[in-house]
Structure 1
């Protein structure tokens, strides 16, 4: 339901190339760091969203989605499930076109709210795993 291949493909190929990665910092040991690099390799602009607002992979970071001064197409969420719903709500408020919850990040109520607001959404998947499958 919340990870169908058609929606995965649509988010990766049709909904825009500016991805806000929530939880992305300069910590190379965190999954977000590697996934962001894969997204860049696929032609995506990666916008780090983290309280530290670090520059990561050459892109200026911001402390929150609301602090980003330009449009974001997809919000990729690397925070735990307990915080993810709030991020999804912020993505809707920011005018994003889609929300992507990473592996292990599940909030069905947030999924329903986000879809009801007209955004595409995927949960419990990783774009770095899905991109090679597009072939």
Structure 2
């Protein structure tokens, strides 16, 4: 079966219903795309939860966790900034913590990760930038709709 992303309308619903976004591979370097995207999403009102085992402290003012399983609050979206070959493991972790959506950033896709996540009941978005989609679908923010 060929993977297809949710419709734009469904992406809007996912974003509207989501608050906590765990960002796997979030860099503490401000010039990295993961940092810029997460900073923009945080400014739009989402709670960003950094996941980076190499980080030496908070990122974007938030406690950084080594793994998804260490996060003490429910996660709506697991947003992934890791190479495609690392995403099946992330998908397994996302299923294990009961996340609702696995979102692989622009340029990242894995049929294996998608199959794992879907089998675990998660919705899957691949090869899409969450910041771009949010800007297009919710230009006024979640409360402005």
TM range (shorter): over 0.9
1:75 match = 78
1:12 match = 15
Q: Does 1:120 align with 2:144?
A: no
Q: RMSD between aligned alpha carbons?
A: 1.3
2:89 match = 86
Q: Distance in 1 between matches of 2:48 and 2:74?
A: 12
Q: Does 1:107 align with 2:106?
A: no
Q: What is the TM-score of this pair, normalised by structure 2?
A: 0.86
For this pair of structures, how many residues does the alignment match?
134
Alignment of 1:20-35 (within 5 A): 20-35=22-37
Q: Distance in 1 between matches of 2:29 and 2:121?
A: 33
Q: Does 1:41 align with 2:43?
A: yes
Report which of the two structures shows the higher radius of gyration computed on alpha carbons: 2
Residue 25 (structure 1) shift: 2.3
Q: Does 1:133 align with 2:136?
A: yes
Q: Distance in 2 between matches of 1:114 and 1:7?
A: 17
Residue 3 (structure 1) shift: 4.9
Q: What is the TM-score of this pair, normalised by structure 1?
A: 0.92
Q: After the TM superposition, which parts of structure 1 deviate over 2 Å for at least 4 consecutive aligned residues? A: none
Q: Distance in 2 between matches of 1:95 and 1:38?
A: 25
